[in-house]
């Protein structure tokens, strides 16, 4: 049974089979009636994600309460995780009743925009990493990373939120969701572009650190006690790995959602629950959990105060002069690197 031209009329008192099944979801006649999903939602998968995101949220709150550091990072990740919780709560609602429009709209809007907040938290970390190694190792001032990527993230978020709102209103009114869907896709595509640019800047910074370390050794880096202690800690090295994993996961997920939504709400990718679980749910929960384990407020410690903060001033690094073996002249690594 489906809602096609050959479908028998709905029972008395109902204008459509969809409305009938909304109120009688357990009726066996509704098994083949079209709903907001093309598959039967897995309560096990969605309840698991709901529980894991709730655990992640608790972890971020406890870490901030214990350290009182990293306000901006905490706000970004907490906002993102709360949206993930609301999204999976919507999917649990849809499992109970797949003809419930509220659950469907809640999950598609919240799960679409949530990673933009997580990306913002990651962007805030790069400038602090630059200060740990020394601003001389970056092609641009550390503050510029935040000034470039955070506004880009806001643009992406606004587009996704506006598109989601327009699509939700259109769906509720029985109108075409194409306009809102296209705006959401534009926001997601811009997020992919921003993440790709961020990854490129991070790789460029890492390569420059590597080259200058080979040339100058430890003298290429900030020689303050705090910076040296941070660089040598296993927590900081774990944080670098966690940020890499988290960024790749969000990027992978964002590419998938662009492909998914570009084919419309009834496209073939929208019908694949296995892809949604693997490329949406797993990617984002891994992104959050690795940041719970290697939280910047714990791994950066003193570096979370002042250097790299939203209102911080440019930090002065201390570098030991390097003697050029050929000329006998003394120069700092930063000066020598200008000609490299």
Rounded to an integer, the average pLDDT of 299-308 is: 66
User: E strands of 124-260, at which residues?
Assistant: none
Residue 228 scores a pLDDT above 50 = yes
Burial 48-85 (b: 16+ CB within 10 A, else e): ebbebbbebbebbeebbeebebbebbbbbbbbbbbbbb
Task: Report the SS3 class of residue 138.
Answer: coil
Please tell me which of 220-229, 277-286, 311-320 the model is most confident about, judged by mean pLDDT. Answer: 277-286
Q: Is 207 exposed, middle or buried (0-12, 13-18, 19+ CB in 10 A)?
A: exposed
Q: Which residue's structure tokens are 């641009």?
A: 140
Q: How many other CB atoms are there within 10 angstroms of residue 196's CB atom?
A: 13
Please write the tens of the pLDDT for every residue from 120-159: 999 999 999 999 998 888 898 999 999 999 999 999 999 9
Specify the length of the chain in residues: 340
Distant-in-sequence, close-in-space partners of 49: CB < 8 Å, separation ≥ 6: 84, 88, 281, 285
Distant-in-sequence, close-in-space partners of 245: CB < 8 Å, separation ≥ 6: 286, 287, 290
Q: Which residue's structure tokens are 């407020």?
A: 297
CA distance 45 to 285: 12
Asked if 224 and 317 touch (Cβ cutoff 8 Å), the reply is: yes
Distant-in-sequence, close-in-space partners of 274: CB < 8 Å, separation ≥ 6: none
Q: Where are the domains of the chain?
A: 1-34, 40-314
Cite the DSSP H helix spans in the chain: 17-23, 43-67, 71-96, 101-133, 142-172, 178-216, 225-232, 234-261, 273-276, 283-293, 296-299, 333-337
For residue 9, what pLDDT band results from cuts at 50, 70 and 90? low
Residue 338 scores a pLDDT above 50 = no
Query: Which one has a higher pLDDT value, 40 or 6?
Result: 40
Backbone angles phi, psi at 322, to 5 degrees: -115, 135
* The two structure tokens encoding residue 207: 């390569």
Rounded to an integer, the average pLDDT of 63-67 is: 94
Strands 322-323 and 330-331: antiparallel
CA distance 10 to 20: 7
Fold adopted by 40-314:
Rhopdopsin 7-helix transmembrane proteins (1.20.1070)
CA distance 114 to 102: 18
Angle subtended by helix axes 101-133 and 225-232, to nearest 10:
120
Please write the tens of the pLDDT for every residue from 307-329: 444 344 444 444 444 433 333 44
Please write the tens of the pLDDT for every residue from 158-181: 999 999 889 888 877 878 888 988
Q: Which residue's structure tokens are 């906002």?
A: 79
Distant-in-sequence, close-in-space partners of 329: CB < 8 Å, separation ≥ 6: 323
């Amino acid at each position: 049974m489906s809602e096609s031209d050959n479908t028998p009329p709905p029972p008395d008192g109902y204008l459509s089979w969809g409305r009938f099944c909304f109120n009688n979801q357990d009726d066996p006649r509704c098994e083949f009636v079209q709903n907001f999903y093309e598959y039967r939602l897995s309560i096990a998968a969605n309840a698991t994600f709901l529980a894991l995101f709730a655990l992640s949220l608790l972890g971020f709150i406890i870490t901030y309460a214990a350290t009182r550091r990293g306000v901006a990072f905490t706000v970004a990740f907490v906002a993102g995780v709360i949206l993930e919780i609301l999204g999976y709560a919507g999917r649990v609602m849809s499992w109970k009743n797949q003809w419930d429009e509220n659950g469907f709209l809640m999950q598609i809007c919240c799960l679409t925009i949530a990673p933009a907040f997580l990306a913002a938290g990651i962007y805030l970390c790069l400038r602090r990493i630059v200060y740990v190694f020394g601003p001389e190792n970056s092609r641009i001032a550390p503050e510029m990373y935040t000034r470039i990527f955070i506004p880009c993230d806001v643009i992406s978020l606004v587009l996704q939120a506006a598109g989601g709102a327009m699509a939700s209103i259109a769906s509720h009114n029985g109108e075409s969701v194409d306009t809102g869907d296209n705006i959401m896709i534009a926001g997601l595509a811009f997020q992919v572009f921003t993440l790709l640019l961020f990854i490129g800047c991070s790789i460029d910074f890492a390569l420059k650190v590597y080259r200058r370390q080979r040339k100058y050794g430890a003298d290429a880096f900030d020689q303050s006690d705090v910076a040296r202690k941070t660089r040598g800690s296993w927590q900081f090295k774990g944080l670098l790995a966690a940020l890499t994993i988290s960024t790749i996961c969000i990027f992978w997920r964002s590419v998938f959602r662009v492909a998914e939504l570009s084919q419309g709400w009834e496209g073939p990718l929208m019908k694949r629950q296995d892809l949604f679980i693997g490329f949406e749910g797993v990617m984002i929960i891994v992104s959050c959990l690795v940041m719970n384990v290697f939280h910047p407020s714990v791994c950066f410690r003193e570096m979370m105060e002042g250097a790299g903060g939203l209102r911080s001033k440019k930090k002065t690094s201390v570098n030991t002069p390097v003697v050029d073996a050929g000329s006998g002249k003394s120069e700092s690594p930063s000066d020598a690197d200008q000609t490299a």
